[in-house]
Amino acid sequence: MLDLAWPALSPQAIDSFFSLVLGFAVAGLCATGYGIFADRLPSFQLLEVGPVPARFASIPLLMFAAPFIIMRNTLRGRRIEGRRAEFVMIATVIAGLWSLMSGTVVVMALQAVL
């Protein structure tokens, strides 16, 4: 008889998965919230336009919204420009790692508050 049970996940793996998912959720929330107030979605061009204080103030937004922006730009580039699948895969990994890092910051902040 074959044992087809799933292997048990370690608590660290569950924490990492939760941080990854929370990072993507916070990225979408930040980007959508900015889009509601500014009537346009955020982009990395926020660092290049406007007065210097506005550029400096956009850094925290871009830190947390970056996975959303990377994935949006990647999928649009694939659809419109026909970018190769390898570039889409690399950008997905970068967005996932960024989401994992920002999600870890959010989890640590929540733990500090609660």
pLDDT digits (tens, 9 = 90+) for 56-104: 989 999 999 999 999 999 999 888 988 888 999 999 999 999 999 999 9
C-alpha to C-alpha distance for 70 and 77, rounded to whole angstroms: 10
39 within a domain of the structure (yes/no): yes
What is the tens place of the pLDDT at every residue in 24-63? 999 999 999 999 999 999 999 999 988 988 899 899 999 9
1 within a domain of the structure (yes/no): no
Report angle CA 22, 71, 27 to the nearest 5 degrees.
30
pTM: 0.84
Domain count across the chain:
1
User: Domain range for residue 95?
Assistant: 17-113
98 within a domain of the structure (yes/no): yes
**3-state SS, one letter per residue, for 4-29:** CCCCCCCHHHHHHHHHHHHHHHHHHH
C-alpha to C-alpha distance for 98 and 67, rounded to whole angstroms: 6
12 within a domain of the structure (yes/no): no
Which has the closest alpha carbon to 65: 95, 28, 108? Answer: 28
Chain mean position to CA 59: 14
